A and B are shown apart, each in its own frame.
Chain A
Amino acid sequence: MSAAGSTTALVVGAGIGGITAALDIANSGFPVVLVEREPSIGGHMAQLSETFPTLDCSQCIMTPRTVEVGHHDLVRLHTYSEIESVRRSDSGGFVVGIRRRAAYVDWDKCTGCGVCQEKCPFKVESAFERGIGPRKVIYTLSPQAVPNKPVLDAEHCRYLQSKWDMQAGRIPSVDKQGQPASPKCGACAKLCPTGALNWDQQDTLVEEEVGAVILATGYDLLPASRLPEYGGGELKDVVDGLAFERLLAASGPTAGKVLRPSDGAVPKHVVFVQCSGSRDPERGVPYCSKICCLYVAKQAMLYKHRVPDGEASVFYIDVRAGGKGYEEFVTRAQEEHHVRYLRGKVSRIYSQDGRLIVKGVDTLSHRAVEVQADLVVLATAIVPRVSTPAVAGLFGVAADGNGFLVSGDEEMAPVESGAEGVFLAGAALGPKDIPETVAQASGAAAKVLSLFLRRRMLETTAPAGEGMRAA
């Protein structure tokens, strides 16, 4: 550490944006602290099957980067962690307190063999699988998880809950014979070859001093339950875009077969509803979510690949395809794959006789239409993550009325926050696709490198201790 300030970077969020920024900075020779609240890195891109417009396998293009960042000598990766406190350091950087949640697994002992997850007898709903499939109580997010070390979901763990109940006297801690009672289950601990289960593990707190920070906390989807008139949150066969990705993904709960969540049947007619909650100042969000027109075209095409005799219909208001190759991509879906595009916002979706009735309209032919679907995919609005405003606030970054982070100058300096040493990238700023996210991440990384290089220059041109601050 020099008087000019730390030249370690902090990147908050390890989706494709955070990973890209971390690699750009680390590969330039500066250390990076990378913090991610999920057990492993990759963000939503890790949930995707293929990406538009190339139809590259998402895991295939991402894994080289996740592996690189997971093994990089200059990257300190804190997963299952959150920023808890921030204060300015004396040299214009930050001292951050990072809380790493108790995983109840000692990752230093764990080899990632996966026996615990395989043998855990209990399944719960998996947020990663978006309602399509379950996970075990002790789990990794995917087989390619980086780090490939599991965490234990204490809330649903029989062993921990019964152990804590006994400790608190809520249930008896001796059995009928007067012997000490054992907590229930504990299968993972019994089977772990390295004894990595640690039932007494606590949250840990670390402090890191950093010279600059990049906020890349990403996005979430509007919960489908906000759309009751579409059966969102109620009808099993009405799912959102990320859930459909899990159906398409080879590593997903159905091994890439498109099956109805309700009965496992192959849907012969899938209806995609764009603008589910977007462009809806009255009852949703006022803005356009930017990526849905493209990912719906992608998902419709992939569905037609998997189920060649199936029908795919898309209800849209406009098709927004401004990126490179995007217009051609959508045209391919329409003209070559016969995805039927109907112009009109769906009024209502309900269930009847095991099918989903979609009440829509095709304004171009001036017809109200009713479509009977087997599966409906709602392209729900992109929204900020619930946790983003709080962590951004710790660094003095504000969110706008929609909860997206505000740049210092939206037009001319979108990756700068306006606060010294704080930069922004990716969907935390607003809906965007992967190429834009990666570009912004590299842009933010370049800003960080520029700041660090100026600090280094100041350090070498001025005597230390004269109190010169980095520009």
Chain B
Amino acid sequence: MRVVLDPLALHGAFIREIEAISEQNLLACNQCGRCSAGCPLVEEMDLLPNQIIRPAQLGLDTVVDSTSPWLCAACLMCEARCPKGVDLPRIMDALRQIALRRGESRVVAGDVDPALLAGAPQMAIVGALRRGEK
């Protein structure tokens, strides 16, 4: 596929929204890939963590539909090892927030497995809802 890069998009609303929510400079990422190399959830993700950032750097909001932010466990390994100090967990959360603002909840309280409600530490449920509920 070919995309006509819109110069306005490079300074446009999508980048500004991510940067406002995450307080991160997307351009600091040089796509070294270390985040993806160490991410424990890449096996399930459709896009690698560094692949999520690249279209965003170009102002393309296609990544909002990716499953990757919802598979992020916020383990913070990416941020710990990024040579440029990019706080990728915050960018992932910004993408989650944007996806929720544009669409539906990803975690619904009523759908939580009753076994979890009975036995799991409640911080798991509260944490999941805070991340995934509109």
- List residues of chain A with CB under 8 Å of any chain B CB: 229, 275, 279-284, 317, 343-348, 359-363, 366-369
Contacts and interface: CB of A to CB of B under 8 A. Distances in A.
Contact of A360 (B37, B82, B83, B85): B37
Contacts of A367: 48
Given A229-B81, A282-B84, 15 more contacts: A279-B30, A283-B83, A344-B32, A344-B33, A344-B36, A346-B34, A347-B38, A348-B81, A359-B38, A360-B33, A361-B48, A363-B36, A363-B48, A363-B50, A368-B39
B122 interface: no
B42 interface: yes
Contacts of B36: 344, 361, 363, 368
Contacts, number: 71
A345 B37 contact: yes
A344 B83 contact: no
Interface in B12-50: 30-39, 42-43, 47-48, 50
* Chain B interface category by residue count: 20 to 34
Interface of A (DSSP majority class):
loop
B67 interface: no
Contacts of B47: 366
Contacts of B34: 344-347, 361
Given A281-B85, A368-B48, A363 B38 contact: no
B37 A366 contact: no
Contacts of A347: 34-35, 37-38, 77, 81
A138 to B, nearest CB: 44
Nearest to B50: A363
Contacts of A229: 81
A289 to B, nearest CB: 13
Contacts of B38: 347-348, 359
11 contacts: A281-B84, A345-B33, A347-B35, A347-B37, A348-B38, A362-B33, A363-B36, A363-B50, A363-B51, A366-B48, A369-B37
Closest 6 CB pairs of A and B: A347-B38, A344-B33, A347-B37, A280-B83, A361-B37, A345-B34
B37 to A, nearest CB: 4
A346 B34 CA distance: 6
Nearest to B28: A281
A379 to B, nearest CB: 14
A275 B38 CA distance: 16
Interface string B113-126: 00000000000000
A281 B47 CA distance: 26
B7 to A, nearest CB: 25
Contact of B33 (A281, A282, A284, A343): A343
A295 to B, nearest CB: 20
A229 B39 CA distance: 14
Contact of A284 (B35, B39, B50, B83): B83
A75 B42 CA distance: 62
Given A344-B34, A345-B37, A347-B34, A282 B48 contact: no
Contacts of A348: 37-38, 81
A317 B31 CA distance: 8
Given A317-B32, A366-B48, A282 B37 contact: no
Contacts of A275: 32, 83
A377 B66 CA distance: 36
